[in-house]
Amino acid sequence: MTGPTERMTGARALIECLYREGVDTIFGYPGGVLLPIYDELYSSDIRHILVRHEQAAAHAAEGYARATGKTGVCLATSGPGATNLVTGIANAYMDSIPMVALTGQVPSSMIGNDAFQEANITGITMPITKHNYLVQDVKELPRIIKEAFHIASTGRPGPVLVDLPKDITTDMIDFHYPDKVELRGYNPTYEGNLQQIKKAAVEIGKSKSPVIYAGGGVISADAAAELKQFAEKAQIPVTTTLTGMGGFPGNHPLFMGMPGMHGTKYANYAIQESDLLIAVGVRFDDRVTGKIKSFASNAKIIHIDIDPAEISKNIKVDIPIVGDAKWILAHLIKYAGKAQSEEWIEKIDGWKKQYPLHYMEPAGDEIKPQYIVEQINAVCPDAIIVTEVGQHQMWAAQYFKYTEPRTFISSGGLGTMGYGFPAAIGAKVARPDKVVIDVSGDGSFQMNSQEMATIVQNNIPVIIAIFNNGFLGMVRQWQEIFYGKRYSSTCIRDSVDFVKLAEAYGALGIRATTRDEVRPALEKAIASGRPTLIDFIVECEENVSPMVPAGAAINEILDLERKE
């Protein structure tokens, strides 16, 4: 570490700023305008993971953030390097994940002249960042980096981009890192209004059929313990969104699974018949609400969220409480008593028995994808599960029992195919003590399969479990149901031998084609301690069930279980 007023280049100052923010890992890809920064990284203690595509750098930074709660950092060069980060930045923005994206830029004197590899990345990313900066004076660099990390990690978290012209990295600065951040107009509310909390407590005491609907905000606020304590004290059943998985123990008697389009029937029925819906850290996404007019139409709604812009944005609420979920739940525990929910819990328990998640057992020894998830849960119940996007993502949400926060990582709002593998890299780098498994589809995996080189070169023992059905499965499912099985451009059968691909990169490749081979394949992958890909050949027309059609009420549920 250097003294507070040492003279140095902007590139070295950037590294010093990152040290001060506790950054230990950066995911990136070099380029010409970044050479001064990479030269400083060469002799720094910050670990740099060289990805093979900039999109993977952004996803890996997000996976790192979601596994730890710290702010993830990615780095890309100007022009196409910066624009390749856009999907990952948008993903982090939609799911409220703290991330700082650093981009190189052409020299200040050339900005606006269509210089080689110039792109207006601050303009491009303005709608998908919490805030962004173009550094125009090296003297402003320490303040900007301090602000960037503060904005990314406070209030409702999100990505912040800092664009660095090359001359900024070579100009000299008398380095001093600010002690605090002062941003006029940016003061997130953490302490909820006590009168609103007491009002909510009264409604809880009167309620006969309450439901807690919890989302990713519970995990961001590190409020899982408070949520559990509150639910147990008030005796209220809990349903969590896709990004909220692990925010409440999946094996708890009060847990109802995920709500919405591919949620459990009992979670959807409970929401629709509730008289009080307590929403914590959620944004009432359309995949959960279905038909807005019919969503929880008989319930009073309490909405706890740190972002006031989310209150009554999609669903009109009766008791808004703006603030930090951890703080507000702690005070609800203090003021709220037990709901009048004995008969309600019995009714939901009856629904659980009547409408369990289920799938048809195979006639032969073929592999059902749901069975793979069950076996992963049995073999390694404390693994971090990361997913791509599609059918496998829904099965991972339905059939794995997440008991701790930050053990399920998936693309929620943006639904990004190709997200899971690089996010798993970030999660494993962040948590080397945990088994990290990327539950993937054969379509999604091919979006960023080049990152096999990253895990082999850096010896990052991620396990990739490919559910290989030869289709873009979720799109095929919609084509089957709504387009009469006209499978237009969704069949990708025999497009690649994944085992040979893994071996070509130097990873371990395993193939499982029968039910009896599933568990041994998983055990071999875990025991190997190597980067491993398992190619599970699964039923090609298996559907995710249950399913609520788009635009329908969430209790208008289709059971798509195929009859053998």
Residues known to be catalytic: 54, 116-117, 166, 474
For residue 48, the SS3 value is strand
Q: Which residues contact 123 (CB under 8 A, 6 or more apart)?
A: none
Hunting for tokens 């970030």 — which residue is that? 426
Residue 30, amino acid: P
Tally the C-alpha atoms within 13 A of residue 349's C-alpha that lie toward its C-beta. Answer: 10
Q: List the beta bridge partners of residue 134.
A: 163
Q: Is 470 left (phi over 0), alpha (psi -120 to 50) or beta?
A: left
Distances (CA, A) of 323 to 148, 193, 475, 531, 542: 21, 8, 38, 42, 43
Q: List the beta bridge partners of residue 97.
A: none
Nearest to 329 by CA among 419, 450, 228, 206: 228
Q: How many CB atoms lie within 10 A of CB 117?
A: 16
Contact 56, 422 (CB under 8 A): yes
Q: How many CB atoms lie within 10 A of CB 195?
A: 9
Hunting for tokens 């084609």 — which residue is that? 513
Q: What angle do CA 295, 298, 302 make, to 5 degrees?
A: 80
- Give the H/E segment covering residue 447: none
- Alpha-carbon gap, residue 62 to 68, rounded angstroms: 10
Contact 92, 27 (CB under 8 A): no
Locate the DSSP E strands across 13-141: 25-28, 47-50, 72-76, 99-105, 131-134
Locate the DSSP E strands across 166-247: 172-174, 210-214, 238-240
Locate the DSSP E strands across 220-313: 238-240, 276-280, 300-305
- Alpha-carbon gap, residue 186 to 155, rounded angstroms: 9
Residue 345, amino acid: I
Contact 63, 430 (CB under 8 A): yes
- Give the H/E segment covering residue 264: none
For residue 438, the SS3 value is strand
For residue 7, the SS3 value is strand
- Alpha-carbon gap, residue 322 to 327, rounded angstroms: 11
Return the structure tokens found at 472.
């873009």
Locate the DSSP E strands across 79-234: 99-105, 131-134, 159-165, 172-174, 210-214
